[in-house]
């Protein structure tokens, strides 16, 4: 065992195949903690025993890697278990990161499932669809609005400050599924680069930052992310 990958976590999908087994074996020999993912748990457990001899260095996840929802949960579970992802900054307002189990999510553009009173400013979670009463009103009588950032509005200052701080202290900064043209959010890439982070872009198409990042990986996030984590 060379140990060159000591301290890293490798998530191997399709691990029950011959190629998957060879890849997992090589990663384990280099010192990585290997997480095996495939549909049949019995075959995974046999493979884990062959590679790791029953140690905690080889773990198994039973998952259908063709199912995007299961892949999202697989990534979130793996990241959560090993603490590989410190902060997730998103411009999405749909709440899907929460449903996937992601932690430490900073929502730059707000959350469509949160309502804010236009009078008293109170915010509350509301996932009813459709809303029973239109227009919706707060207990104070004023109208409720989605707690999202509309055009011309400022980003939530507390959230933005945390996003800048997280970007500035990141060792690795992943830019996933974004055109990188919406500012100020795209500026976080510069914050991370100037602080010395390794920057990795994952996107089907090139972006204005593709030539500036350390690595630009082309393809769907659901396919590339599991191979990185």
CA distances from 29 to 26, 33, 57, 70, 153 (A): 5, 10, 10, 28, 52
Q: Tell me which H or E stretch contains 76.
A: helix 68-82
| Residue among 144, 143, 140 nearest 126 (CA) | 144
Tokens of 206: 């090139």
Instruction: Report the DSSP beta bridge partners of residue 201.
Output: 175, 216
Q: Is the peptide bond before 142 cis (omega within 30 degrees of 0)?
A: no
Q: Where are the alpha helices (DSSP H) in 53-169?
A: 68-82, 96-99, 157-168
Q: Is 97 a catalytic residue?
A: no
Query: Exactly one of 97, 109, 165, 183 is catalytic; which is it?
Result: 109
The answer to whether the Cα torsion of 162, 90, 112, 74 is positive or negative is: negative
| Residue among 73, 75, 79 nearest 100 (CA) | 73
Phi-psi region of 158 (alpha: psi -120 to 50; beta: other; left: phi over 0): alpha
- In angstroms, rounded to a whole number, what is the distance separating the alpha carbons of residues 13 and 99? 22
Please check whether residue 38 is in contact with residue 66, taking contact to mean a CB–CB distance below 8 angstroms. no
How far out from the chain centre does Cα 227 lie? 13
Q: Please give the positions annotated as active site.
A: 109
């Amino acid at each position: 065992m060379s140990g060159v990958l000591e301290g890293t976590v490798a998530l191997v999908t399709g691990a029950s195949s011959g190629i998957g087994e060879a890849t997992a074996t090589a990663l384990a020999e280099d010192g990585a903690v290997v997480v095996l993912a495939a549909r049949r748990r019995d075959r995974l457990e046999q493979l884990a025993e062959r590679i790791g001899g029953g140690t905690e260095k080889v773990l198994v996840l039973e998952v259908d890697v063709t199912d995007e929802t299961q892949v999202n949960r697989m990534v979130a579970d793996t990241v959560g278990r090993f603490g590989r992802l410190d902060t997730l900054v998103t411009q999405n307002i749909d709440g899907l990161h929460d449903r996937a189990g992601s932690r430490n999510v900073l929502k730059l553009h707000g959350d469509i499932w949160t309502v804010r009173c236009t009078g008293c400013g109170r915010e509350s979670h509301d996932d009813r669809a459709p809303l029973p009463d239109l227009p919706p009103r707060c207990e104070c009588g004023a109208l409720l609005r989605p707690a999202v950032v509309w055009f011309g509005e400022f980003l939530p200052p507390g959230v933005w400050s945390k996003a800048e701080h997280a970007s500035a202290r990141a060792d690795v900064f992943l830019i996933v599924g974004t055109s990188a043209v919406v500012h100020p959010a795209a500026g976080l890439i510069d914050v991370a680069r100037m602080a010395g982070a390794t920057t990795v872009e994952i996107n089907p198409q090139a972006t204005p930052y593709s030539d500036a990042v350390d690595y630009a990986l082309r393809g769907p996030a659901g396919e590339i992310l599991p191979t990185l984590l």
